[in-house]
Amino acid sequence: MSKYYPKNGRVIFHVDMNSFYASVEMAFNPELKGKPLAIAGNPEERKGIVVTSSYEARKHGVRTTMPLWEARKHCPDLIVMRPNFDRYRTASKEMFKILSDVTEQIQPVSIDEGYMDITDCEDQGTPLEIADQIQRRIAEELDLPCSIGIAPNKFLAKMASDMKKPMGITVLRKRDIPQKLWPLDIGEMYGVGEKTAEKLKKIDVKTIGDLAAHDVLQLKRVLGINGERLQNRANGVDQRPVDPDAVHEFKSIGKSTTLPEDTTDEREVQQVLRRLSSKVADRMRAKRVLARNVQVMIRYHDRKTITRSTQLPEHIKHAEDLFNISVRLFDQHWNQKPIRLLGVTAQDLAEEKELSQQLDLFSYETYAEKENLYKTIDDLTERYGKNPFQDLTSHNNNDKGNVSTSFQKDFLDDYKK
């Protein structure tokens, strides 16, 4: 048995539920099984958007983020249901309970996926036997399908779990990388988004193998430090541990500035808060994180300092949202005395790539409608070094600070209770 468990290495699982929302609905109502099913917000409206779909629907060309009118063109028999997040959370909790019967070394990263470190589980069988046991239990007890990737690190395990769906178990060893990983298109690599893939293809990096062999200095010129990180991953190097406490991490990104002169001018205050929010958003974008808490610091002329924060129902990432929330906090807590220093801090951060978009009936459409605008602004900001629309945004448009997409991680350790 010991030959399956390296002395100096790790054995990592990535467990990924297949078409989770649709699969949960099918488990709840078996009459839906084998039928094309889509989960969508506002299914009665033509403008509703597909959140996820069953594999039967996908065979007809139905895809996530597709407008319902287009999905129904591809699949006239499509069954459309509203999302039921209480139901999905219950299924998620039961799924993670099954994983916890194998090991305590579990890192949930979203409602339907998580990592496991089974390096010390030699007494329970080979990695393949343990994976088969987990997959069968989830299928038999919850009536849900999942895919499992087995590898020596988190990145390779994640890539492996995507290689066979639904109900796949895939082993990806480092010696398998040239045959299984490197031929894949660069856009299929976990951690490479659409914009990054476009940049890489411009320097003739078309496959993961191209990335693995490319000049690291050019990668860093194009992508910064992330270029070297991605190349390491392409070569199978990933030292990140499976961290059961990661879901509880509270990090922050903040920026403050001392004003040239003490002021009570609200217009000047708003201009400063806008600049600070923009700088914080830039750093959040560079680190690829979202925030669920915003804090404002006010230091008065007499050096008395207060900090006030608000916990948000959903995570945010855009400067517009940070600005609107910080202005609201300032208006609520400023005592009208002269201000010497202001600060804006984004707190309760979570990695963008590691989060599941739990999309409610309204926020998904809002997010999808605004995403093209946000991408355009990001592209122009990257090209010209400044948000060209910044000065056009209303200073008092507080109501539009409502966030657009729900990235909730606060329930991911419920399976321990």
On whether residue 115 sits in a domain, the answer given is yes
Work out the mean pLDDT of the chain and round it to a whole number.
85
Annotated binding-site residue? 112: yes
Give the whole-angstrom CA distance, residue 331 versus residue 329: 6
Query: Is the predicted pLDDT of residue 207 greater than 80, yes or no?
Result: yes
On whether residue 240 sits in a domain, the answer given is no
Domain that holds residue 199: 179-234
User: Is the model more confident about 16 or about 68?
Assistant: 16
Distances (CA, A) of 8 to 2, 122, 128, 230, 241: 12, 14, 19, 24, 14
Do 10 and 155 lie in a common domain?
yes
Do 253 and 346 lie in a common domain?
yes
Q: What is the pLDDT of residue 402?
A: 31
- The pTM of the full predicted model, rounded to 2 decimals, is 0.67
Do 375 and 347 lie in a common domain?
yes
Do 67 and 195 lie in a common domain?
no
Do 133 and 59 lie in a common domain?
yes
**Residues marked as catalytic:** 113
On whether residue 208 sits in a domain, the answer given is yes
Which CATH number is 213's domain given?
1.10.150.20
Listed residues 145, 172, 199: the one ending a domain: 172
Which CATH number is 80's domain given?
3.30.70.270
On whether residue 406 sits in a domain, the answer given is yes
Do 329 and 194 lie in a common domain?
no
Do 333 and 256 lie in a common domain?
yes
Annotated binding-site residue? 16: yes
User: Is the model more confident about 312 or about 154?
Assistant: 154
Sheet of strand 113-117, all strands in order from the earlier edge strand to the far edge = 106-110, 113-117, 12-17, 146-151, 169-171
Query: Is the predicted pLDDT of residue 405 greater than 50, yes or no?
Result: no
On whether residue 9 sits in a domain, the answer given is yes
Mean pLDDT computed over 12-16: 98
Residue pLDDT, tens place only, 146-197? 999 999 999 999 999 999 999 999 999 999 999 999 999 999 999 998 889 9
Do 225 and 368 lie in a common domain?
no
Residue pLDDT, tens place only, 19-41? 999 999 999 999 999 999 999 87
Single out the residue of 1, 270, 257 nearest to residue 128, CA to CA. Answer: 1
Q: What is the pLDDT of residue 332?
A: 94
Do 224 and 255 lie in a common domain?
no
Q: Please name the amino acid found at residue 182.
A: W
Listed residues 204, 234, 264: the one ending a domain: 234
Q: Number of folded domains in the chain? A: 3
Do 24 and 168 lie in a common domain?
yes
Which CATH number is 288's domain given?
3.30.1490.100
Q: To which residue do tokens 């958003």 refer? A: 281
**For 289-325, b where at least 16 C-beta lie within 10 A, e where not — what string?**
bbbbbbbbbbbbeeeeeeeeeeebebbbbbbbbbbbb
Do 47 and 189 lie in a common domain?
no
On whether residue 239 sits in a domain, the answer given is no
Do 267 and 333 lie in a common domain?
yes
